[in-house]
Amino acid sequence: MIKIQGKSVFGGVAIGPIGILRKKDKKVIRNHVEQVEEEIKRYEDASKEAESQLQKLYDKALNEVGEADADIFHVHQLMLSDMDYVESITNMIRMQNVNAEYAIAMTSDNFSTLFETMDDDYMRARVADVKDVSNRLIQILSGQGDDMLQGDVPVILAADDLAPSETVQLDKSKILAFVTRYGSANSHTAILARTMNIPAIISADFPEDCEEKIGIVDGASGCLYIEPEPELLREMEEKQQKEQKKQELLQTLKGKEDVTLGGKKINLYANVGNISDVMTALKNDAAGIGLFRSEFLYLEKDHYPTEEEQFQVYKTVAETMAGKKVIIRTLDIGADKRIDYFNIEPEENPAMGYRAIRICLDREDVFKTQLRALYRASAYGNISIMYPMIISVEEVKKIKEISAGIRRELSAAGISFGNVEEGIMIETPAAALISDLLAKEVDFFSIGTNDLSQYTLAIDRQNPKLDIFFDPHHPAILRLLQMVADNAHKAGIWVGICGELGADISLTETFIRMGMDELSVSPAMVLPVRQKIRETT
């Protein structure tokens, strides 16, 4: 038996085979080939396999997210059979006697360069399609397969780390727990684990030969056991059963009100990242959606999502929640959430750089597309919009000017929309300190404690070396929260918390005493927080 000590991110016990998510080296080397027709046959066979994979992905996406989002795989199938693309590859193999991988990589580069120079937006958007299709072919030819997990058996997922763009592609039904070598307790892997209600540990240096071996993740202690001894296995199975019974007891809280013993009502909402998370929120009896992370729409795609694509997702969420409040955060990328097709240059300090609302105000066409989709979808449910990373009143006034223009355009076109609340996230010390001024401009505040904590304490929440210095209960953070709550209520608007701190049960009573009107937590934490609210005087 091997015991590996890591750091706990989310509790619980998981038992099962270990699956390692390996990052493939996609570097392509030029090789000379003599049998060119055989090489072309290799390419043609790979193309058939790619077409089969894409059809399976299309069918799966069609069933899970609808035709609009599934259509990208149909576009990739068409690209595979495009004659210009095919002839470029086969001619290069024949004329230069090169291997298929190299011919595909060069064709991808050439087509991408050509498309990027075109004035047509549609053709420029095809750059990502060419690269995606080409990478798929190269993976098949090299025998690498996908970076994502293969097989149907649920596993303990072990990885160096997971980027947000990788987490959205995972088949979450196949994951029992997360184990990563790197990352921090506040990383997106950690947030995903809490959303999925599965054990997770970080800073666990697992061996490369542990794949397919039976493992145990004890999320509470931060331990990974590989090939556990029978006695430990029995002990952990009992611990797992106790945890399951505890979860069953929490289920009895479904349908109960989120009211303290003293009669104060708290709006208990859920944080979600996509449509499947919405179903999890409903399953856990959330009273609404306090944070819908719209950037996952962008992370899942290799092109700017169109107004129609976004509209369909927002409409589905609004209709699914059936009149319950749905607060959608506008695009929040930058920092650790990078998207290739945005072409954002690397920054030395991305957490304080070109991100979130700064990108939206700089690229108004992207911002307006999202706002149009959001306002159109608001006709189908109770949608509110909130804007991230605010630091000034001037930003809010500019946002209100743009959104008012969108409403005028929709009205002129005869397109209906709902009565949308507009709020801002308080996640910078600047916003907290001028919250009395900001409160006069908006309908609500939602405090993002993840960023507010890192900016207040000058601690990068993605740096695991700083975890020992990070104190989410720091008096400075709590004082800022109280200040924001007081200023919101003085102006007659409501205030809530949508950061990870909202699920900290040791602070629930403190938040209620502060006057917080809403707590938005990961779906798995709705019932535990409800229990704490109902026990609070």
In a structure prediction context, what are the per-residue pLDDT tens digits for the chain, which is 537 residues long?
A: 999 999 888 888 999 999 888 765 557 889 999 999 999 999 999 999 989 888 877 776 666 545 655 667 778 888 898 888 999 999 999 999 999 999 999 999 888 888 777 666 556 667 777 887 888 899 888 876 554 555 568 899 998 877 654 665 677 778 899 899 887 666 666 776 776 778 889 889 999 889 889 999 998 899 999 999 999 999 999 998 888 887 787 788 888 999 999 999 999 999 998 777 888 888 889 999 999 999 888 887 878 899 999 999 999 999 999 899 999 999 998 755 667 788 877 777 777 888 899 999 999 999 999 999 999 999 999 999 999 999 999 999 999 999 999 999 999 999 999 999 999 999 999 999 999 999 999 999 999 998 999 999 998 877 778 878 889 899 999 999 999 999 999 999 999 999 889 999 999 999 999 999 999 998 888 999 999 999 998
Give the global pTM. Answer: 0.65
- Written as six digits, the tokens of 66 are 């609808």
The active-site residue, picked from 32, 76, 188, 303, is 188
Backbone torsion region of residue 23, taken as left when φ is above 0, otherwise alpha when ψ lies between -120 and 50, otherwise beta: beta
Q: What is the pLDDT of residue 395?
A: 97
d(CA 90, CA 79): 15
The answer to whether the CB of 382 falls within 8 A of the CB of 323 is yes
d(CA 392, CA 397): 9
d(CA 244, CA 236): 12
All CATH 3.20.20.60 domain ranges of the chain, comma separated, are 254-535
Active site residue 489: no
Q: What is the pLDDT of residue 163?
A: 62
| DSSP conformational letter for 353 | S
The answer to whether the CB of 403 falls within 8 A of the CB of 443 is no
- Written as six digits, the tokens of 167 are 């987490």
Burial class (CB in 10 A: 0-12, 13-18, 19+), 376: buried
d(CA 472, CA 500): 10
**Does the 36-142 domain belong in CATH 1.10.274.10?**
yes
The answer to whether the CB of 127 falls within 8 A of the CB of 105 is no
Burial letters for 112-140: b for 16+ Cβ neighbours within 10 Å, e otherwise? beebeeeeeeeebbbbbbbbbbbbbbbbb
| DSSP conformational letter for 118 | -
- What is the 3 state secondary structure string of 472-487? CCCHHHHHHHHHHHHH
DSSP letter for each residue of 315-337: HHHHHHHTTSEEEEE----BTTB
Q: What is the dihedral of CA 65, 71, 72, 73, to 10 degrees?
A: 90
- Written as six digits, the tokens of 20 are 């390692």
* CATH of range 2-23+149-231; options 3.40.50.2300, 1.20.120.140, 3.50.30.10, 3.40.640.10: 3.50.30.10
d(CA 68, CA 306): 10
- Written as six digits, the tokens of 89 are 């590859």
Strands (E), 169-275: 175-180, 200-202, 214-218, 223-226, 267-272
Q: What is the pLDDT of residue 536?
A: 92
d(CA 238, CA 126): 53
Q: Give the DSSP H/E element, type plus range, for residue 302.
A: none
- For residue 276, which of 251, 293, 290 has the smallest C-alpha distance? 293
The answer to whether the CB of 224 falls within 8 A of the CB of 201 is yes
Fold annotation for 254-535: TIM Barrel (3.20.20)
Q: Give the DSSP H/E element, type plus range, for residue 41.
A: helix 36-65
DSSP letter for each residue of 365-431: HHHHHHHHHHHHHGGGSEEEEEE-S---HHHHHHHHHHHHHHHHHHHHTT------EEEEEE-SHHH
The answer to whether the CB of 422 falls within 8 A of the CB of 384 is yes
Active site residue 474: no
d(CA 485, CA 519): 13
Per DSSP, the three-state class of 269 is strand
- For residue 186, which of 378, 449, 482 has the smallest C-alpha distance? 449
- Written as six digits, the tokens of 124 are 């420029």
The active-site residue, picked from 210, 303, 360, 498, is 498
Non-local CB neighbours of 354 within 8 Å, separated by 6+ positions: 334, 344, 347, 362
d(CA 125, CA 150): 29
The answer to whether the CB of 258 falls within 8 A of the CB of 267 is yes
Burial letters for 196-219: b for 16+ Cβ neighbours within 10 Å, e otherwise? bbbbbbbbbebeeebeeeebbbbb
All CATH 3.50.30.10 domain ranges of the chain, comma separated, are 2-23+149-231
Question: Is the Cα torsion angle 135, 139, 145, 147 positive or negative in sign?
Answer: negative
The answer to whether the CB of 298 falls within 8 A of the CB of 305 is yes
Residues comprising the binding site for phosphoenolpyruvate?
A: 293, 329, 450-451, 461
Strands across the sheet with 200-202, in order?
2-5, 223-226, 214-218, 13-20, 155-159, 175-180, 200-202, 7-10
All CATH 1.10.274.10 domain ranges of the chain, comma separated, are 36-142
Burial class (CB in 10 A: 0-12, 13-18, 19+), 427: buried
Question: Is the Cα torsion angle 133, 138, 141, 147 positive or negative in sign?
Answer: negative
Across the strands, what pairs with 7? 202
| Strands 223-226 and 214-218, bridge-based pairing | antiparallel
Q: What is the pLDDT of residue 135?
A: 84
The answer to whether the CB of 391 falls within 8 A of the CB of 428 is yes
d(CA 441, CA 412): 25
